[in-house]
Amino acid sequence: MGIPEAIETIQERIHKACARSGRKAEEVRLMGVSKFHELPAIEEAWKAGIRLFGESRVQEAASKFSDFEAKHPETELHMIGSLQRNKAKIVTGRIAGGYLFDAVQSVDRDELIAELGRLTGDRKNPLIVLLEYHTAEDSKSGYPDLDSLFRAADAVLAFPGLALRGLMTMAPLTRDEAAIRASFRAMVFARDALAARFPAADWSCLSMGMSGDFEIAIEEGSTLVRIGTAIFNP
């Protein structure tokens, strides 16, 4: 199966998961996670309709996407990997015609919020921020609990160059469906608690679901699925 067929298959599976959980397919965005994949594959995914891409390493993203985005201005690029503070400058940096990244989904430390806020003070389009929530024991990253998420939300909302948009999580890498579901339900619970505490903020994005678990994520309320393997190595 080539990349276009793989994308079509995933879109069908998204539609079916939405249908059986009473949701509209337009509620779920499909991200192509292009880390480790070269420009010709990314170009193929673009031709097959993918406009939202995710990368997990800053340098790799900069080298692949600076020219790609100049050629395809409708591209939206999100940082999804763990981000060191000394790379924040590249993540918030400009490229011809705009900014390299539109969003950072992997915001997991208050010092990173402060650095991103400092670097985006004069930005025309704010940098979209998702707070990463740690919902799986085998994952290392993410805010550990509701209190730390409350504090992080407070911090993001204080910076004019940052636009808070929701949460991101990774479920455990397991075949145990109940454990995966529990992880996604913890996200929904956290989102509801945050929305109650910060009702004026935008909590519309729930980024959850990867190649192995995106249908479960959709059933549990995901609005953005991050698919790498099933698109680029089907």
Number of residues counted as binding ligand PLP (CB under 6 A): 14
Which member of 130, 210, 216, 217 binds ligand PLP (CB under 6 A)?
A: 210
Which helix (H) or strand (E) segment is 133 a member of? Answer: none
| For ligand PLP, the closer CB: 35 or 123 | 35
By DSSP bridging, strand 205-207 and strand 162-168 are parallel
**DSSP assignment, residue 200?**
T
Is residue 170 close enough to count as binding ligand PLP by CB under 6 A?
yes
Tell me the HSE value of 46 on the side-chain side, using a 13 A CA sphere. 17
Backbone φ and ψ for 129, nearest 5 degrees, come out as: -125, 130
Q: Is 103 in the site for ligand PLP (CB under 6 A)?
A: no
The 10 Å Cβ neighbour count of residue 198 is 16
What residues contact residue 38 under an 8 Å CB cut-off, 6+ apart? 64
**Number of C-beta neighbours around residue 195 at 10 A:** 15
Q: How far is the CB of 56 from ligand PLP (least distance, A)?
A: 5
Out of 93, 212, 221, 234, the residue judged to bind ligand PLP by CB under 6 A: 212
Binding of ligand PLP by 80 (CB under 6 A): yes
3-class secondary structure, 190: helix
Closer to ligand PLP at the Cβ: 138 or 160?
Answer: 138
Residue 180 binding ligand PLP, by CB under 6 A: no
Characterize 153-184 residue by residue with b for buried, 16 or more Cβ atoms within 10 angstroms of its Cβ, and e for exposed.
bebbeebebbbbbbbbbbbbeeeeeeebbebb
For residues 186 and 157, what is the distance between their CA atoms, to the nearest angstrom? 23
The residue within the footprint of ligand PLP, chosen from 18, 28, 33, 119 (CB under 6 A), is 33
80's enclosing H/E stretch is none
226 binds ligand PLP (CB under 6 A): yes
Which of 33/180 has CB closer to ligand PLP?
Answer: 33
Output 98 or 234, the one with its CB closest to ligand PLP: 234
Query: Does residue number 211 form part of the binding site for ligand PLP (CB under 6 A)?
Result: yes
Instruction: Give the count of beta carbons closer than 10 Å to the beta carbon of residue 50.
Output: 21
> Which range binds ligand PLP by CB under 6 A, 22-30, 63-71, 189-197, 220-228?
220-228
| Cβ closest to ligand PLP, residue 159 vs residue 214 | 214
> Least CB distance from residue 221 to ligand PLP, whole Å?
17
Positions in the binding site for ligand PLP (CB under 6 A): 33, 35, 56, 80-81, 170, 210-212, 226-230
